Amino acid sequence: MPYVVNHPVKIHFQQIGEGPPLVLQHGFSDSISGWYEAGWVKRLGRHFRLIMIDARGHGFSDKPHAPDAYNLSHRVDDVLTVIDTLGLERVHFLGYSMGGWIGLGLARKTPHRLLSLTLGGIHPYGQDMSPYRRGVAHGMDDWAKLVQQATGGRMPDSTLQRIRANDPQALAAAVANDRPAFKGAWSQLRFPCLLFAGTHDPLLPQMERFAHELPEARLVRIEDADHTQAFFEPARLAPAILEFLQPSKGHV
């Protein structure tokens, strides 16, 4: 099982497929397994070298219990440590929700390491994380029920079991602090950006604002999906992502 160590947290990652390198970073309380279960690996793995990372506090990565361990700078360095270890100078990046937040941090800290940026369900204007704090306060069984309700009951049993298996102290530490707004304009980014969100995602208005601020951005709206459901729509999203990343191969 491949790991890297980032002072001193062990970060688990996996690779599959061949082609241009595409880093996949999952959302809160998820793991690498989510990319498989939702169908992303099946649809994108034929076209890219997928590099999937278990964020600290999740999956098979270490799970510190101190909130300071989850500062965005540490999470960004986790990704950089993985791609440095693999000898990659530049990568495509796809992140959902919390994973998109990490992608924003990469774009700020090391824009020269990104070939493109694809972000779902995230914006750079700060976020109150108290709903997540309340959600995990009573344990993983209650949190799993909330996530299942958010998907309209369409979540596989394997996903629910995996969510229940999370370390509640690690997840509580990961959302102990609100996400501050990024400072400065985004107009300096010089690589293409794709944003996506469900039309029922409460973050959509901020993402529409963000799309207008980016010089090379496109926003894809997933009809009748909320924040959680959008991740489970690779059948609708993957063609747009593939067309964005490889315009000559606009199908999956």
Over residues 211-220, the pLDDT tens digits come to: 999 987 999 9
187 falls within a domain: yes
73 falls within a domain: yes
* 5 close to 11: Cβ distance less than 8 angstroms: yes
* 2 close to 83: Cβ distance less than 8 angstroms: no
Q: Residues 76-130: pLDDT tens digits?
A: 999 999 999 999 999 999 999 999 999 999 999 999 999 999 999 999 999 999 9
pLDDT over threshold 80, residue 66: yes
116 falls within a domain: yes
Say what the pLDDT of residue 157 is.
85
251 falls within a domain: no
The enclosing domain of 116 has a CATH number of 3.40.50.1820
Q: Quickly state the pLDDT bin for 221 (edges 50, 70, 90).
A: very high
Radius of gyration (C-alpha) of the chain in whole angstroms: 17
Burial of 38 (0-12, 13-18, 19+ CB in 10 A): buried
pLDDT over threshold 90, residue 4: yes
Q: Quickly state the pLDDT bin for 1 (edges 50, 70, 90).
A: confident
**Cβ neighbour number for residue 216 with a 10 Å cutoff:** 12
Dist. CA 176–CA 152, nearest whole Å: 27
Say what the pLDDT of residue 250 is.
42
Spell out the alpha helix ranges (H) of the chain: 32-37, 40-44, 72-85, 98-109, 130-136, 140-150, 157-164, 168-174, 204-213, 227-231, 234-245
Say what the pLDDT of residue 215 is.
85
Give residue 37's domain range: 3-246
Q: Residues 181-192: pLDDT tens digits?
A: 999 889 888 899
Say what the pLDDT of residue 200 is.
94
252 falls within a domain: no
Mean pLDDT of 146-156: 82
180 falls within a domain: yes
Say what the pLDDT of residue 247 is.
66
72 falls within a domain: yes
What's the number of domains the chain is made of? Answer: 1
Which residues 6+ apart lie within 8 Å of 141 measured at CB? 164
Dist. CA 233–CA 39, nearest whole Å: 8
pLDDT over threshold 80, residue 32: yes
Closest CA to 21 of 50, 53, 52, 54: 50
Say what the pLDDT of residue 251 is.
43
Which residues 6+ apart lie within 8 Å of 211 measured at CB? 195, 217, 218, 219
Average pLDDT, rounded, for the chain: 94
